[in-house]
Amino acid sequence: MLKTPFFVAAPLIWGCLASTTTAQSPLTGLPVQLVTAAFDRNTPNSLKCSVEQWRPVLDFAFRFAAGYIVRCRLGIFEGQERILGVFARVTPAGKPPTLLGERAQIPQVDPRVAGGRNPSKLNSTLTLSGAFAVGVGDYLVEILAVDDRDRTVRKRWRLHVAANRPQRNVPLAIAPLTVEPLTGHASELAAASGKGKVRLTVLLDAAPINPYQSELHAWDRSFLLGSLYSLLREMPYRAVRLVAFNLEQQREIFRREGFDGAAFLNLAEALRSMETATISIQALKNRNSPVFLIDLVSRELADSESADAVVFLGPSSRPRDDPIGSDLLHTRNTGRPPFFYFEYSPWPEHPFPDALEQLTKSLDGKTYVIRSPQDLGQSIQKMLTQLKQK
């Protein structure tokens, strides 16, 4: 067993993770030895954080997603910029373990936030979450978080993954006793590009499933990435333009022409970085304003290489009091591509339309309310049928 203190070996691991700092990525080479040694060191917890289990659920890429939540009181970092590494060792029954890791940059506390108080007394909670995909079976999950002062916290639990009765006829996309990162299927998108004739634009609302929550946690990212993957897997596209935005923050967070597997990984990184992002005061003042959304759609319609179909994808957002009409668009009202909105709403009732549903309706588009991976698959097929009729 390696006896090197983790903070001495850590720069090698941080360097390995430098290109994937914001997503759980498989470890290979020397970092496997170093992190394995850190897991096997039976040292008491010295980082005053908690680790909670996130139980497996069937995600929208037809895999079981499981994960963890790390909660730390902000004061333990004393207001200084720190690095926190979080590692997962997931061992399927009868098989070798898979090691996943990521690092998070803990920002320096703005003195205005501290309000003149000692930064070590800050009681605000920093939350970091991570997830991975698993197949049916039994697993041992071990989580290790370590900061750049060699303080650690760890937790382990047994995980049993099984399909319930409604899921038994679902064609799972991951084999039993298998572990992979949430982005493990990204390479398939590159192989599938150019397989059809449709020029597709996807406008991804990178928002939490709970509209009254500000952070984008691992389960939110699992939904966004999984549903996007399933959409593109079924879509006969020639080219894809992907624009990810957040209505609450009133900003565009990612844009890519010729979206492919490599861009999928970049998108995952952009989504991960949103977990600790702050919302500006100006964005809070304007979050119910339709201006940002109208400008986003107007830009799409004004493009000389406009799409053959435009898809909004995301969870239900807060309902609007006043409707959004197509008359606000800064472009022509004729010759528009068809608009579709895949709106994830896990709630049993759906009484009030949100901004995207209102806008889709004003553009003579179609909204599909989805509550399960099966709903998404059926809605995609309905959309494809409508496109064939045009």
DSSP annotation of 348? S
Q: What is the pLDDT of residue 305?
A: 76
- Tell me what pLDDT residue 322 has: 59
What is the SS3 assignment for 204? strand
Residue 18: Cβ within 10 Å count? 9
Cross-strand pairs, 315: 344
Contact 170, 163 (CB under 8 A): yes
What does the DSSP 8-state code read for residue 63? S
With CA atoms as reference, report the closest residue to 81 among 50, 101, 103: 103
How do beta strands 137-147 and 198-205 pair?
unpaired
Going edge to edge, which strands form the sheet with 49-58? 49-58, 64-73, 125-134, 179-181
Query: Amino acid identity of 171?
Result: P
H/E run at residue 300? helix 291-302
- Specify the pLDDT at position 102: 86
Strand partners, 49: 72
pLDDT of residue 325: 57
pLDDT of residue 11 exceeding 60: no
Q: Domain spans of the chain?
A: 6-181, 186-388
- Tell which residue, 224, 184, 185, has the closest CA to residue 26: 184
262-288: per-residue pLDDT in tens?
Answer: 999 999 989 988 875 555 545 555 555
DSSP letters along 14-43, please? HHHHGGGTTS-EE--SHHHHHHHHHHH---
Q: How confident is the model at residue 2 (pLDDT cuts 50, 70, 90)?
A: very low
Give the list of residues 6+ apart from residue 194 with CB closer than 8 angstroms, or none.
237, 238, 239
- Check if the beta carbon of residue 251 is closer than 8 Å to that of residue 207: no
* pTM for this prediction: 0.83
**Which residue is associated with the tokens 């497996």?**
56
Query: HSE on the CB side for 1, CA within 13 Å?
Result: 11
Q: And the tokens for 371?
A: 């509550």
* Cα–Cα nearest to 131, from 61, 188, 33, 30: 61
CATH topology of domain 6-181: Immunoglobulin-like (2.60.40)
pLDDT by residue (tens digit) across 357-384?
989 998 999 999 999 998 999 999 999 9
206/282: higher pLDDT: 206
Q: What is the pLDDT of residue 112?
A: 67
261-273 and 218-234 helices, crossing angle to 10°? 160
Selected from 1.20.120, 3.40.190, 1.10.730, 3.40.50, the CATH number assigned to the domain covering 186-388 reads 3.40.50
pLDDT digits (tens, 9 = 90+) for 60-83: 999 999 999 999 998 888 888 888
